Amino acid sequence: MVPPPQLQTWVPWSEAAGVARVTVEEFRDLLRKYRRSSLLIACSRLSVLFNFGLEGDITAGDDITAQWIPAFFSPKIAQRVMLFAQHGRLIFFQAQLRYLAREVIRLGTSDDDLPPVHDGAAGQLLLMAGELLYRKYVTLDDPLDEMANKIATFLPFYEIDSVNAPTMQFLRFYTLLSVIIPRLPEHLRLYDVAALFEEQFGFPLKEYCEFIFCFFMHATTQRDKKSLEAAVDSAIGIGTFRYTSVSPEALSRMFDTVCFTLDTPVEGKEPVGFADFDLLRDRPYLRYQEELFCLDYEFAANKMESGVLWRVLRKLKSEADKTNYLSFWGYVFEYYVAWLFEEYASTAENRFYPSPTYTDDPSKQICDAIIVCGSTGVLVEAKLATCPSDVRYSGDYRKMRMFMEERLVVGKKGPVGVGQLLNAIENITRLPPSALPFWIRHIRKFIPLILTKDDIGSSWVVNSYLNARFQEARKRA
Confidence category of residue 448, pLDDT binned at 50, 70, 90: very high
Mean pLDDT for 341-345 is 87
Residue 234 near residue 48 (C-beta atoms within 8 A): yes
Mean pLDDT for 385-391 is 91
- Long-range Cβ contact pairs of 25-33 (< 8 A, separation 24 or more): 26/128, 27/103, 27/125, 27/128, 27/129, 27/132, 28/103, 28/107, 30/121, 30/124, 30/125, 30/128, 31/100, 31/103, 31/104, 31/107, 31/125, 32/107, 32/109, 32/111, 32/114, 33/114, 33/115
CA distance 46 to 93: 10
Of 50-59, 133-142, 225-234, 367-376, minimum mean pLDDT range? 225-234
- C-alpha closest to that of 420 among 466, 371, 376, 374: 466
Q: What is the pLDDT of residue 348?
A: 84
Q: What is the CA radius of gyration of the chain?
A: 25
Query: Does the pLDDT of residue 228 top 80, yes or no?
Result: no
Confidence category of residue 224, pLDDT binned at 50, 70, 90: low
Query: Does the pLDDT of residue 466 top 90, yes or no?
Result: yes
Q: What is the pLDDT of residue 417?
A: 94
Q: What is the pLDDT of residue 471?
A: 92
Query: Does the pLDDT of residue 265 top 70, yes or no?
Result: no
Q: What is the pLDDT of residue 3?
A: 60
Q: What is the pLDDT of residue 335?
A: 94
Read off the pTM. 0.89
pLDDT tens, position by position, 114-166: 899 988 899 999 999 999 998 788 899 999 999 999 999 988 888 876 667 77
Burial track 27-58 (b if 16+ CB lie within 10 A, e otherwise): beeebeebbbbbbbbbbbbbbbbbbbbbebbb
Residue 10 near residue 89 (C-beta atoms within 8 A): yes
Confidence category of residue 460, pLDDT binned at 50, 70, 90: confident
Q: What is the pLDDT of residue 475?
A: 80
Q: Mind giving me the DSSP string for 465-477? A: HHHHHHHHHHHH-
CB-based contacts of 249, cutoff 8 Å, min separation 6 = none
SS3 of 457, please? helix
Query: Does the pLDDT of residue 267 top 80, yes or no?
Result: no
pLDDT tens, position by position, 71-93: 999 999 999 999 999 999 999 99
Residue 373 backbone phi and psi in degrees, to 5:
-130, 105
| pLDDT above 70: percentage of residues in the chain | 94
Burial-class residue 286 by CB neighbours within 10 Å (0-12, 13-18, 19+). buried
Which pairing describes strands 357-358 and 361-365: parallel, antiparallel, or unpaired? antiparallel
Q: Mind giving me the DSSP string for 310-374? A: IIHHHH--SHHHHHHHHHHHHHHHHHHHHHHHHHHS-TTT-EEEES-EETTEEEEES-SEEEEET
Name the residue with higher pLDDT: 162 or 70. 70
CA distance 367 to 371: 11
